Amino acid sequence: MTSEQATLSGFDQFAPKAFLIALAKFETPLSPELIAEVNEVGAALASGDSQKAALLKKIAEKDAAFYECFNQAYEDLLELDESEEKDKYLPELDENTPLRQTEDYNNFLAPPLTNSNPQSLAQKLLGKASDLVERVYRLRF
């Protein structure tokens, strides 16, 4: 997978990140049907079909409580992005900065979305850090 294929920000840069945060924070288990849909999108993303990232918001909307968690994470990411604080979470870029890498995508987004228990894996990957929004904001997908 090339770095261009893994760049999800061309669609909605915060939806995949908000979905990952919601998976890590949501305490009630998702229904088997939703997990199947999450896994389907995860498999498509893992094979390079980044346009499937747009489906994550639609999946979140199918469970009202999960969507509330997703929406809060989305709003928190937007607020951080619009604040003066965002610069401290993003590295400075210059002509020597390499093109986007797929490490964050491969390490943080693909594994939970393709796992049979996406919430548990998201929690393991991201931990219970109090700065979860800031941590995910820095990820490069």
Average pLDDT score over residue span 65-89: 86
pTM (2 decimals)?
Answer: 0.81
104 — pLDDT class (breaks 50, 70, 90)? confident
Which has more pLDDT, 20 or 46?
20
3-class DSSP assignment, residue 117: coil
How far CA 136 is from CA of 94, 103, 120, in Å, comes to: 22, 13, 16
Question: Can you tell me the distance from the alpha carbon of 5 to that of 36, in angstroms, rounded to the nearest whole number?
Answer: 23
- pLDDT score for 30: 97
Residue 88 has pLDDT above 90, yes or no: no
- pLDDT score for 94: 54
Question: Can you tell me the distance from the alpha carbon of 70 to that of 73, in angstroms, rounded to the nearest whole number?
Answer: 5
Cβ burial 33-67 (10 Å sphere, 16+ → b, else e): ebbebbbebbebbbeeebebbebbbebbeebeebb
Q: What string of DSSP letters covers 4-57?
A: HHH--HHHHTTHHHHHHHHHHH--SPPPHHHHHHHHHHHHHHHTT-GGGGGHHH
Where in the chain are the domains? 17-90+97-137
Q: Is 112 left (phi over 0), alpha (psi -120 to 50) or beta?
A: alpha
Residue 95 has pLDDT above 80, yes or no: no
117 — pLDDT class (breaks 50, 70, 90)? very high
Residue 1 has pLDDT above 70, yes or no: no
